Every structure is written in structure tokens, then in C-alpha cells.
Amino acid sequence: MRCGCSRTTRQRVAVRATTVFRRLIGVSDLYVLGVYFAEDGLVLAVRPRWRRPRCGACGRQGPQEDRARQRRWRHLGLGATRVWLAYQPRRVKCRKCGGIRVEQVPWAEHGSRFTKPFEELVAYLAVATDKTKVTRLMGVSWSTVGAIIERIVARRLDPGRLDGLERIGVDEFGYRRRYRFLTTVVDHDRRRVVWAAKGHGTATLKAFFDDLGKERCAGIKAVTIDMSGGYIRAIEDCLPGARIIFDRFHVQRLASDAMDAVRREQLRDLRGTPAGKDLFRSRFVLLKNPWDLSRPDQAKLNELQRTNARLYRGYLLKETLAQALDYRQPWRAKKALEEWLAWASRSRLEPFVRAARTIRRHFDGVLAYVDDRLTNGRTEGFNNRLRMIARRAFGFHSAGALISMLYLACGGIELHPPLPGPLQT
């Protein structure tokens, strides 16, 4: 017996299948012509909705020359099934670019093998989660993730980010086992990374000031820097009117590093003994803020006070420096800092003696922090985020990908991953 539906209903059902896929893709301006299974997944044959081809480089309409080879673009998968868009792009004679170019397609960026929603989701996940999860979820390699991020950043980074800078922070990152460096510049007021480049020290920072130009340099009022970076000279040369501030984040890190050095020294002497093992485990307790200590942490600290006077002295030195920087009146902070320097110099802990020397050398810049309160908890949080992202991006073997990741996560770029919105109730 024949089925009850008429020929027109059957046709309508067939048309609807491609419409369903068109809506599933989530890209406007394209038609789905057919759907079939290939060895490596589901393939949707598509074409742009516009008739006249547009130049892939500049977007301008032009006459069609011929067709390029058939291409496939990787799209978001349906569950475990990979999905591809297939199309044979036209080649356009472009008057503006002068030459023959492959046409623009609405679903992908020029030169990319992935669709826009796919790239957007990869970038979103790269910021939100770790390397293993991104690569497994999306089925791409980490270097592909790097290339996708570079493309998105090139497209989205705010070109006006260097305008109107007033208070900036300069920081350096050692990456790839600390023999390669990256310099980053953050805008404290808008809390974002505005510039990053390979290298460190005077020359690198001067390259930033060159990018900025004289007029914009003159607008900068304050710069926070790392004491070790060798940035001071570049600032004095190019920004004579700016105030140099050593932010609290870096000053305190000097003390934490000194305490860690004391601990490591002792660890070397006690290697293999039970006391050494205890000491090994004490690191996180010592580095924690006192208000974050749990009861067992506190007990461990008390134990340390009884058994290890040197290390406990280091701990107190670290905490006291933080307190000195807590004062809001400059004269109080100055007094506390001077007392701290005297104590640290007499502490007979060599790493602290060295740290005290560094702080004394930059005394005014350290105190400037108290005046300005530039680096409050919020910028410190931002710094920590920057470091976390940088650590994740160290896996990229090119500095370009690493820099793009910093821009993507901390440069004020808004992503639009294809995620379902909240349920409407």
C-alpha cells in the first residue's frame, strides 16, 4: 500500500532537512545544498547566499574568474560526530587588491580551515580551561589552538587601546625555562594588557614608548614596575614627567622569595631526614596569607616557631613587610619600612639582607606606592590572572601565540562562543 502523504508533503520534508542543518550551523548568509556522510564525519555541502563573489581579502565584490579546488571547513561537532562544511570557492578578480583572490565565505575567516563558531568556542575554552581539556573537547592540537587565538586577536584587539593611557604597569615574564622573556604593559585604569613583546629591559620598553609616540607618552602620569627588570632607565629617558612606583606585589615578592631561599638552604642541609620532609611540606603554609591559614596550618606554624628559629624569623620578616605597606599614612609607612630594613639587615639571613639592600636602593619608589595606592587588591588579582594565563600559554612554542593568549584573556576582548542561553521560563 502507498503511504498516505502526497508528493508535495514529501518534497517539503526534504527541503526542511537542509533548512534544519542551516539553522544548526548558526551562520547566516549561507544555503545548505546537501548532507552526506564521509569517512571522517558528516559533510554539509554549502554555498554563500550572495550571488556575486566578494574578495576574500577586502570584501569587495568583483567578477568571477574561475573556481578553486573544493575545500572543507571544520565545524562544531554533533556529539562525537565531526561536522564539515564543503564548498568549491570562486576566485575573484579584485580591483582593489589587484589580482585574483579566493572569495570570502560567510562561515569562516579568510585563510582559516575552521568555521567562525568553531574558532570562537576554541578561544573561549582556551581562556576558561586547561590545555588538555581544550584539545580533547575540540579535537585539535595545542598549536592549532594557538593559531586560532592569533587570528581572533588580530581581528578583535581594540586598536585604540594605546590612547589616553595615564597609569600603566610594566612587568616581565620568564618563559621557557626562564631564558626567554616577555615584557607586558597593562593599563591600570582599564585593567587590561595593552602591549606585549618578546625581550626585556631598557630596549624592549623603549620600543613600546616608540609605538606610543611623544604625545601619548606625555600623558602618562605613573608607572609601576618590577625592580629587577631594568626598566627604570627607559622610563627616565622617555617619560620624564611620570612617577615611578614599585608596586606592592613586586616588593612583597622579594620577601617571599627571600623566605623561600632560606627554606631551600635548610632543605639542602636536612635532605633525607624526617625533619627535612616536614620542612618540604611547610612551603605553602609559609606562603599563605595569615588570614587564610586553617587550624592545621596554624599548628604547623607554631611547631615551626618552636623548632626552626631561622625560618620562623624569615616568616615574620615577610609578614612584617606586608604590614608596613598596609599603612595608609606615608609617614607611618616610612617609619615602618625603615624599621623593617634595619631588622632585615641584622637578621643574619643572607637572602633578606640582599632583599633589604634592593628595597633600600629603591626606597622612594616603594614609598610612592603608599601615596598612590595604585596597586590595590584588584590589580593584584589581575596580575595573578595574567601569570596563570601565561603559565598555561607557555606550551605554545612561539612567542606570538603566547602574546596573543595574553591579549585574548587579559586584553579586554569579548568572545561570543556559540553557547545556549539561559532557559526562558
Residues that bind Zn ion (CB under 5 A): 55, 57-58, 94, 96-97
| Residue 386, number of CB atoms within 10 A of its CB | 20
Of the pair 91, 188, the CB lying nearest Zn ion is at: 91
Write out the three cell numbers for 190.
582599564
**Residue 224 Cβ, how far from Zn ion at the closest point, in Å?**
44
CA dist 96 and 408 (Å) reads 31
Pairing of strands 222-225, 243-246: parallel
**Residue 154 Cβ, how far from Zn ion at the closest point, in Å?**
18
Place of cell 617571599: 256
Of the pair 26, 59, the CB lying nearest Zn ion is at: 59
**Residue 98 Cβ, how far from Zn ion at the closest point, in Å?**
8
**Residue 156 Cβ, how far from Zn ion at the closest point, in Å?**
21
**Residue 60 Cβ, how far from Zn ion at the closest point, in Å?**
5
Of the pair 101, 263, the CB lying nearest Zn ion is at: 101
**Residue 90 Cβ, how far from Zn ion at the closest point, in Å?**
13
Of the pair 96, 357, the CB lying nearest Zn ion is at: 96
For residues 72 and 114, is the Cβ–Cβ distance under 8 A?
A: no
**Residue 61 Cβ, how far from Zn ion at the closest point, in Å?**
10
Of the pair 96, 264, the CB lying nearest Zn ion is at: 96
Sign of the alpha-carbon torsion through 291, 295, 297, 301: positive
CA distances (Å), origin 354, targets 52, 323, 349, 351:
70, 20, 9, 5
Count of helices and strands (H, E) across the chain: 16, 12
CA dist 328 and 369 (Å) reads 10
Write out the three cell numbers for 27.
551562520
Helical packing angle, 309-326 and 295-307, nearest 10°: 120
Length of the chain: 425
Residues contacting 271, CB < 8 A, separation 6+: none
**Residue 244 Cβ, how far from Zn ion at the closest point, in Å?**
47
- What type of residue sits at position 369? Y
**Residue 111 Cβ, how far from Zn ion at the closest point, in Å?**
13
CA dist 142 and 126 (Å) reads 9
Of the pair 77, 106, the CB lying nearest Zn ion is at: 106
Of the pair 103, 226, the CB lying nearest Zn ion is at: 103
185: left (phi over 0), alpha (psi -120 to 50) or beta: beta
Of the pair 98, 272, the CB lying nearest Zn ion is at: 98
- SS3 string, 118-178, reads HHHHHHHHHHHCCHHHHHHHHCCCHHHHHHHHHHHHHHHCCCCCCCCCCEEEEEEEEECCC
Of the pair 94, 262, the CB lying nearest Zn ion is at: 94
**Residue 101 Cβ, how far from Zn ion at the closest point, in Å?**
6
Of the pair 110, 131, the CB lying nearest Zn ion is at: 110
